[in-house]
A and B are shown apart, each in its own frame.
Chain A
Amino acid sequence: MVRFEDVWLKYRNTARAGAPAKDVLRAISFEIPDGGFRWLTGPSGAGKTSLLKLIYLAEHPASGLIEILGTRAANISRREAALLRRRIGVVYQDFRLLPQLSAYDNVALPMRLARRGEAQITADVTEILRWVGLEDRLHARPDELSGGAQQRIAIARAVVGRPKLLVADEPTGNLDDEQAQRLMLLITALNRLGTTVVVATHNMALVERYPAPKLRIEDGKLVQNG
């Protein structure tokens, strides 16, 4: 379950000392049950990425309660936070692949962090790379791949560990229609297997094609929940 209760997020104004912090998210409250799916929509700059960062523990809220997969995010130790992050798959808007690693090693990284066995890593990474259509580019480094291929690696990395929660920020932004369809099949399959999913997107055609409850944010406020 993902639960937000009156969550505020403020960013410090680093350009001017002493300036008041800016409210990025204001009084956000919602709940996504285990195995739920939510589209996260809203105009650019509304706070979608900031909301996702709170979900995948990359930001601390200024106030409010956040509960992720049954764990209250406030006051957990750094070790507990790291272990919780391993249960969350994240597809970043800017991919965030490690440039010195091959496609295979990028995808294998979360499993290695979780100290899975190499046999299982080989099987799962090969399978997921085949699913995203990159089985012939295992040894390519990110800078040798197109933007779309990099995005598919980022998606493969996010889902390879079968996360309990999948958070995706514009996951289809660099994909053609066929690849986007393929990705949505993968995400909905994971969702059917029990993974809670939150996908931020501008692609309203995709939202209409895969109907699900929406969280809509405008100017840092949640204006639609359901």
Chain B
Amino acid sequence: MARRDDLGLRAALADRLLPVLVAAMSFLAALGLAGTLASASLAASWQAQANETLTIQVPQSGDPDATGKTTRLEAVQAALAKIPGVANPQVMSQADENALLTPWLGEDATQLGLQMPGVLTASWAGPGSPDALGEALDVIAPGTLVDAGAIWAARVAALTGSLQDCAAVVLIIVALVAAAVVAVAARAGLAQRRETITIVHGLGALDGDIASRFASRATVLVAMGAVAGTVAALPVLAWLASLAAPFAGQMASGGGTLFNLPTPLWFTLPLLPMAAAGIGWLTAQLTVRGWLRSLP
């Protein structure tokens, strides 16, 4: 079929409602996509931090150890320094310990007369899990507890995995709604141009020719809407990125500028209009071809 508007589709597939609806869908899709990428990025960052941090609590830390030559705390610290995979074992200062406990025990926990354990921090860089550390240190200072961060890492992984699943579901729902919107618009166009299509069909137009005309028009409108929706989402995404920056270990710029957007988002956002156009083209093709089956 010639590249002209023989079917009158510019009037039949209105150039207002469809792009506006698709723009709204693309706006939501952009947020969903950003959510997916952000949760994946945060998950990776948090898991790395949690996995490599060790916290060791030594009860009665000032008491002498089994040899009587040093305190239990110093004995555990010396043992940690010799264990392969453990790096930089440090005794947490009283000030840091107080800062940790302040939310629960108030400004100066030491004034409460509670028996506080000594706390050591270290980094775990060894292969596998540091689970066996607890048993080894318990021999040196009975009652010593090792918090490897793996539990938190697993929880963070589960949480961010759920967030990613939610974002993926949002993207799928948005894609389905966009497809439904295109299908409804195509059906409306078919209803409006029923007589014209019947005539053209009778003159020997192939189903593919007619479907391609609708699909081309739908693709243009959907692409326009998708570009508009994606561009409209950029300032919102920049603002959200500036809010999320501290959670990813970055400094908040406070400006909410586009520079806050993570690099992967710049590569994936342009895919949204392309994906939307693809959905529009495919949906229009299927809708029109299905409708044409009703003609002889």
Contacts and interface: CB of A to CB of B under 8 A. Distances in A.
B105 interface: no
B184 to A, nearest CB: 23
B161 to A, nearest CB: 48
A109 B6 contact: yes
Given A58-B296, A96-B199, A83 B204 contact: yes
A96 B130 CA distance: 82
A79 B296 CA distance: 11
Interface string B198-212: 011111111101000
B4 to A, nearest CB: 8
B207 A78 contact: yes
B85 interface: no
Given A79-B206, A82-B205, A82-B207, A109 B200 contact: yes
Contacts of B296: 57-60, 81
Nearest to A56: B202
A27 interface: no
B114 interface: no
A112 B3 CA distance: 9
Contacts of B206: 78-79, 82
A100 B8 contact: yes
B196 interface: yes
B205 A98 contact: no
Given A57-B296, A101-B6, A112-B6, A82 B204 contact: yes
A105 interface: yes
A19 interface: no
Contacts of A110: 203-204
A60 B294 CA distance: 12
Interface string A69-103: 00000000011011111100010000011111100
Contacts of A98: 6, 8, 196, 199-200
Contacts of B201: 82
B202 A86 contact: no
Contact of A113 (B5, B8, B195, B200): B200
Contacts of A112: 1-2, 4, 6
Contacts of B4: 105, 112
Contacts of A56: 202
Interface residues of A, number: 27
Contacts of A82: 201, 204-207
A140 interface: no
A90 B195 CA distance: 16
A90 B205 contact: no
A113 B202 contact: no
Nearest to B293: A78
B203 A109 contact: yes
A114 interface: yes
Contacts of B196: 98-100
Contacts of A113: 1, 200, 203-205, 209
A51 B205 CA distance: 22
A86 B209 CA distance: 14
Interface centre among A60, A96, A98 (most CB of B within 10 A): A98
B203 to A, nearest CB: 5
Contacts of A99: 196
Interface in B205-235: 205-207, 209
A114 B1 CA distance: 8
Contacts of B207: 78-79, 82
Nearest to A85: B204
A58 B296 CA distance: 6
Contact of A105 (B6, B200, B203): B6
B13 to A, nearest CB: 14
Interface in B159-197: 195-196
Nearest to A83: B204
A110 B6 CA distance: 11
A122 B69 CA distance: 109
25 contacts: A57-B296, A58-B202, A60-B296, A79-B206, A79-B207, A81-B296, A82-B204, A82-B205, A82-B206, A82-B207, A83-B204, A84-B204, A85-B203, A86-B203, A86-B204, A90-B203, A97-B199, A98-B6, A98-B196, A100-B11, A112-B2, A112-B4, A113-B200, A113-B203, A113-B205
9 cross-chain pairs, A with B, having the tightest CB-CB distances, nearest first:
A86-B204, A85-B204, A112-B2, A100-B8, A82-B206, A96-B199, A110-B203, A82-B204, A113-B205
Interface of A: 56-60, 78-79, 81-86, 90, 96-101, 105, 109-110, 112-114, 157
Given A82-B206, A100-B5, A112-B2, 13 more contacts: A82-B205, A82-B207, A83-B204, A84-B204, A96-B195, A99-B196, A100-B11, A100-B196, A105-B6, A109-B203, A112-B1, A113-B205, A113-B209
